[in-house]
Structure formats: structure tokens, C-alpha cells
Amino acid sequence: MTTLLYGRPPAVFDPPGDAVQTSPLIPGSPPLETVTEGSADAAMVYAPPGVLERRRVLALALKALKPGGRLTTMAPKDKGGSRLKKELATFGVEVAEDAKAHHRRCVVIRPDALAPEAEAAISAGDLHLVEHLGAWSQPGVFAWDRIDAGTALLAQILPPLKGAGADLGCGYGALSTVVLRSPAVANLRLVDLDRRAVEAARRNVEDPRASFEWADARNVTENGDLDFIVMNPPFHDGGAEDRRLGQAFIRKAAGMLRKGGVLWLVANRHLPYEAELGEAFKRVTPHGEGAGYKLFEAVR
């Protein structure tokens, strides 16, 4: 029996331990879109909050099921759960719904055929060229259809960098594109937890000096040999604010940099990163604030 899993549902929903994980946020997981159509017996989806992303995932999960296969999906009521039943119904399926642990849960048995809206939902949520950005991106990627304000601020103050570097939490590659304008950059590692972001960055950053890693930046190897790191670190985990994420990114950057190497960091103004920077780096220079963000240069 083949069971698919997408995301990390709360334990109260008894996620299957032997399921094939397909989340783009869990490195090494096979993409849901590559699962053979009609091959799975069951699927459990912890539905993401974004509408386009969520509809695509639900449609892909239904498509992967055999006729008669069972889809179980859930989401917090205020993060898409209240819309699950209606969204699923547009795919031409019967939906059973209940409430549990502040979530809405829906169960669907895959019919022989899905409504055309399922393929339309998959297409709408796919990787595509965002015309007004002039860049490839995908719903679900951080700031997928815009230039994040913090990234834009950091890009404005970055001096021409040189040597070997990394962009931790690279997204679809907006900041890396700016970094690579400097001919003195020897190479640049683009690292992101989101497989979709890495795939988009591969298309957007067509530079032989760039390399791409689908990985949790907190777990990458520390060789202490980089000349610079740029980052706009995340501070949400599973939808909840977690300041430890950014603090872990700062410690990781310190371990990856050589003595004298520099970290360029942008962060939301309310986040308490100063102490972590002071402990991990020899010299920390604030570079002002704007639009709710603060900027730092930190020398190892």
C-alpha cells in the first residue's frame, strides 16, 4: 500500500509513519508532482495557508490517488481550514468535513475523474515567469511575487563583494543577482530550505559562479573559509514566529566565515539579533533602519 504525506500534520491527526513525504520544505523528499498519476492508495496533506499553493497541492494529491483512494487534509481554521471543503468541491469530489484541535479536516474519496478545475489549479500554482518581476517564482516561495522590502534595502547598501560567499535563505535569487554583479565574486552558494525556491533560483541566476543547495541552512557544513555571507533570514516556522531561526542563521554564518569574513544581514526591526551578533562576531556595524527593517555588517 502506497501512502503519501505532505507536510507535518500535528500528532493528533495520527500521520502515517510509513508514508512517502513529498513536502518541498523537507530536503530529500520527492516532489508530489512527480508521483505517477493514479498510483497511491492514500494521502494525507497538511494544507499550506496560501490559496494558490494550497489548491495546487490538493489537486496534485487527488491526481496521484487511485480511483477509490482516500485523501485526508487539514489546516488551522484561520489559515485556510475554513476554505478546504469549498476548494475541494470545485475539483468534482464529495467532501466530508469535521473539526478537530482548532483545525478543519476534510476527507475525500477519489472519483474516477476529476473536474477540469483540478488541472487549472495545478497550472496556477506551478513555477512560472512572474512578468512584473522579470523572474521565475512559484506560489509558496517566500515573497514569491514581489521584491521583499528587507531584501531591497540590503541590496541598496551592499558594496561590491569579493571572494567566495553564500546567500543563506536565497529565495528565488533576488539578492544573489545583486551580489553577482561584482566581478570580484569568485563563487556564490545559494542555499534554501524550499526546493521550489532553489528551482526558481536556478532559472533566475544564470551565472557559472553560482551553485545551488536544497538544504536547511542551519545544517550546512561549516568550513570557516568563506569571505562573505548575505542573508535575510526567516523568522517563522510552521506559521509561528520563532526568533531562534534567525539566531541560528547568525551562528551558522559565523562558523562558515573565515577570520575577517563579513556578514551582511537584514532583519525585521523587532527581532533581537544584536546579542547573537555581538557574541559571534568581532565587530558589528549597524547600517540604519527603514520600512520596519534594520541592517548590519558583522566582521568575523
Convert the pLDDT of each residue in 160-173 to its tens digit: 999 999 999 999 99
List pLDDT tens digits, range 49-61: 999 999 999 999 9
Nearest to 112 by CA among 86, 84, 92, 87: 92
- Answer whether residue 243 shows pLDDT above 80: no
| 219: phi then psi, degrees, rounded to nearest 5 | -110, 0
Task: Assign 272 a pLDDT band (cuts: 50, 70, 90).
Answer: confident
List pLDDT tens digits, range 24-74: 999 999 999 999 999 999 999 999 999 999 999 999 999 999 999 999 999
pTM for this predicted structure: 0.95
Which of 72-86, 166-180, 234-248 is the least confident region?
A: 234-248
pLDDT for 15 equals 96
